[in-house]
Amino acid sequence: MKEIVAVIFGLGLVCNALLFVPQVIAVWRKKTDEGVSLITFGGFSVLQVIGIVHGVYQHDWSLILGMSASLLSCGSVTLLTGFYRMKRLQRQ
């Protein structure tokens, strides 16, 4: 039963990662950081790194893989937002 819950938890984390994809696509297509909170997405990214480290210490592959997927998608939003924000500030 413990393994079933771990797999469901891992799948939930992968679904969590998929929730960031529309934001990645929106920032990429619009080529602007407007309307995206860098503090929020940066904070999410930091929490995901902490989750990965915790998963490593606990030997929890569901947590490691799920948080890594979330970091990949959320981190993409964070990096794109930072990139477009720096670009916009340099133009001003």
Residue 22: pLDDT band with limits 50, 70, 90? very high
* Mean per-residue pLDDT over the chain, rounded: 93
Q: Considering the domain 2-91, what is its CATH architecture?
A: Up-down Bundle (1.20)
pLDDT at 9: 85
Whether 32 contacts 85, CB under 8 Å: no
Q: What is the dihedral of CA 3, 53, 67, 75, to 10 degrees?
A: -170
CB 38 within 8 A of CB 85: yes
Tell me, what amino acid is at 52?
A: I
Whole-prediction pTM = 0.86
Question: According to the model, what pLDDT value does residue 62 have?
Answer: 85
What is the three-class DSSP state of 31? coil
Helix (H, G, I), strand (E, B) or coil at 92: coil
Local confidence band at 47 (pLDDT 50, 70, 90 cut-offs)? very high
pLDDT tens, position by position, 51-73: 999 999 999 988 999 999 999 99
